[in-house]
């Protein structure tokens, strides 16, 4: 199995069609996150699926007022939750939850959906609107939908690596 084409073709999409996403599709995206690796297999994450216009509006306003987000029918809020570790290592919680979030992006690409990871918000304001406490850290709000645009590729640095 070669998943490099899907990794290479994935783009951050910021304009979506009116077509909705089904609960079954959402469940597959969450399943991809659920299977992510994590330090000591602590799986320190929670997810919120946001469909309501009111809540999507509140979130996008806090997320630097990125109005394009409202074209996406679904947001998945990806949360690191320190309770699943219980040792205060928030950096590990954030690391692991970010991996799970990337799984969502790649599964969306595989399913012919479009997504964009957003993170342009004040953490405390985002916690407040989602009624989360300080043991939770919102690693990203992922917009999900069908692409209405085809963004051109973004450049990547050439990686020069050492073999030891």
Q: Binding string to ligand FMN for residues 54 to 93, with x set by CB under 6 A, is what?
A: ------------x---------------------------
Least distance (Å) between residue 156 CB and ligand FMN: 8
- DSSP assignment of the chain equals ---HHHHHH--B---B-S----HHHHHHHHHHHHT---GGG---EEEEEE--HHHHHHHHHHTTT-GGGGGSSEEEEEEEEGGGT-SS-HHHHHHHHHHHHHHHHHHHHHTT-EEEEE--S-HHHHHHHHT--TTEEEEEEEEEE-BS--PPPPP-PPP-----
The Cα–Cα gap between 98 and 100 comes to 5
Least distance (Å) between residue 50 CB and ligand FMN: 16
List Cβ neighbours of 128 (8 Å cut-off, separation of 6 or more): none
Query: Is residue 12 involved in binding ligand FMN (CB under 6 A)?
Result: yes
Query: Is residue 119 involved in binding ligand FMN (CB under 6 A)?
Result: yes
Q: Which is nearer to ligand FMN, 32 or 116 (CB)?
A: 116
Query: Is residue 21 involved in binding ligand FMN (CB under 6 A)?
Result: no
Query: Is residue 103 involved in binding ligand FMN (CB under 6 A)?
Result: no
Least distance (Å) between residue 61 CB and ligand FMN: 13
Query: Is residue 140 involved in binding ligand FMN (CB under 6 A)?
Result: yes
Query: Is residue 143 involved in binding ligand FMN (CB under 6 A)?
Result: no
Query: Is residue 116 involved in binding ligand FMN (CB under 6 A)?
Result: yes
Query: Is residue 154 involved in binding ligand FMN (CB under 6 A)?
Result: yes
Q: Where does this chain bind ligand FMN (CB under 6 A)?
A: 11-12, 14, 66, 116-120, 140, 151, 154
């Amino acid at each position: 199995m070669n998943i490099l084409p899907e990794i290479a073709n994935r783009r951050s999409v910021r304009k979506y069609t009116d077509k909705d996403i089904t609960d079954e599709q959402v469940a597959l995206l969450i399943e991809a996150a659920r299977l992510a690796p994590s330090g000591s297999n602590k799986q320190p994450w929670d997810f919120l699926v946001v469909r309501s216009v009111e809540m999507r509006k509140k979130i996008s306003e806090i997320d630097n007022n990125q109005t394009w987000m409202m074209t996406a029918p679904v947001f998945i809020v990806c949360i690191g939750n320190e309770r699943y570790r219980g040792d205060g290592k928030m950096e590990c919680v954030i690391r692991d939850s970010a991996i799970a979030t990337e799984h969502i992006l790649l599964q969306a690409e595989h399913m012919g959906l479009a997504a964009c990871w957003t993170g342009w918000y004040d953490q405390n304001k985002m916690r407040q609107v989602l009624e989360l406490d300080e043991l939770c850290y919102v690693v990203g709000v992922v917009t999900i939908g069908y692409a209405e645009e085809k963004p051109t590729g973004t450049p990547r640095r050439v990686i020069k690596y050492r073999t030891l």
